[in-house]
Amino acid sequence: MKNIAKAIAPLALVALVATGCASGNASEPQADDASNGPGEVVDVTLTLNWVPYGEHAPFYYGVQEGFFEDEGINLTIQPGNGSGNTIQQVAQGNTDFGWADTAPLLKGIATGMPVKSVGVYLQDGPSSVQFFADQGISEPSDLVGKTVGGTPGDAMYGTFPAWLELNGVDPADVTVVNVDASGKIAALIEGRVDAIQGFFHDQSPTITGQTDKEMDSLRFGDFGMNILGTGLLTHNDTIAEDPELVAAMMRALAKSFTEAQADPEAAAAAMFLLAEQSPARDVLIAQQELTFGLLGDGTPGVNTEEQWTETIEALKENTDFAGEVDVPLYWASDFGAE
């Protein structure tokens, strides 16, 4: 799904060894913590949803600046191969935490995977229709008569017709061309479609980097249908047996995103240094900037039950998602709730 342009030469991913810091809670160490006592650290793995791109820069910045170390966490960041695969890796116990999109997470949980979200960070979902700016598209009705590339089976493909109807457009008036996820960017660049369904904060800067052409998009959330984006998940056993580790991860990650917003150039530099691969600098910076605009207000990763209910209902009504509209099944609210 991700097409990362102009990757720099791979560098070894640094897993920092923290010393002399607190266990799960750096400010108030718990001597009777079952997982690790004062002054101890735990090795933790985090698997991303894909190979690193701008959205992930805060993770590397947090490692470089010691935000995870301060929480007693020696974090190793691993590239992923799609949200669905990352969710499976967490469910199978192959990684401690995962970073994945909410729609496939809901589907995985509904099929019995023993995982939960502990907080979604991209609260203004990036689901969108993207196109070159010279198309003159500014609202959903401008898609009438256009061809839009989409991937059968993903959440955007399923919700797209309902989103059109919500905005007064007959889905029959827009031609959807089935395209493999890895081929959508090429389909747009080569002119085989007028627009593509996808995540604008990732794909649009990538396309601009490849073509030097300005991109624009219609975000689903700006036109009546917001679906929560990517966030942190872990195994149900981790939540039950080591809730302080989960809380520590959430604190460190919230600080990482907050501080990265304050100094995006430094966050990008950290990712260039520590990530196995990265997009070109101008692409990464643009992806970061768009990502920060999706975090919502308040502390990064803090959600509301209303946000989750809206997302679950949208997927249940408009896709093949058959799970219950029961928020606690999918989200452990103890770690990131208002």
pLDDT in tens, 62-98: 999 999 999 999 999 999 999 999 999 999 999 999 9
Q: Which CATH architecture has domain 42-124+228-329?
A: 3-Layer(aba) Sandwich (3.40)
* Rounded distance between C-alpha atoms, residue 303 and residue 288, angstroms: 21
* Rounded distance between C-alpha atoms, residue 19 and residue 22, angstroms: 9
Q: One fold for both 42-124+228-329 and 127-223?
A: yes
What phi and psi, each to the nearest 5 degrees, are found at residue 132?
-70, 140
Domains in the chain: boundaries: 42-124+228-329, 127-223
Residue in the structure block whose two tokens are 């073509």: 211
The fold adopted by the segment(s) 127-223 is D-Maltodextrin-Binding Protein; domain 2 (3.40.190)
**Distance of alpha carbon 305 from the chain centroid:** 19
Per-residue pLDDT of the chain (338 residues; tens, 9 = 90+): 333 333 333 333 333 333 333 333 333 333 334 344 556 899 999 999 999 999 999 999 999 999 999 999 999 999 999 999 999 999 999 999 999 999 999 999 999 999 999 999 999 999 999 999 999 999 999 999 999 999 998 889 999 999 999 999 999 999 999 999 989 999 999 999 999 999 999 999 999 999 999 999 999 999 999 999 999 999 999 999 999 999 999 999 999 999 999 999 999 999 999 998 999 999 999 999 999 999 998 899 999 999 999 999 999 998 889 999 999 999 999 997 77
- Dihedral sign for Cα 16, 21, 27, 29, please: positive
Tokens encoding 218: 């219609």
* Rounded distance between C-alpha atoms, residue 308 and residue 320, angstroms: 18
What is the pLDDT at residue 153?
Answer: 86
- Dihedral sign for Cα 198, 204, 205, 208, please: positive
Write the DSSP symbol of residue 175: E
Q: What is the pTM of this model?
A: 0.86
What is the pLDDT at residue 39?
Answer: 67
Give the three-class secondary structure for 143: helix
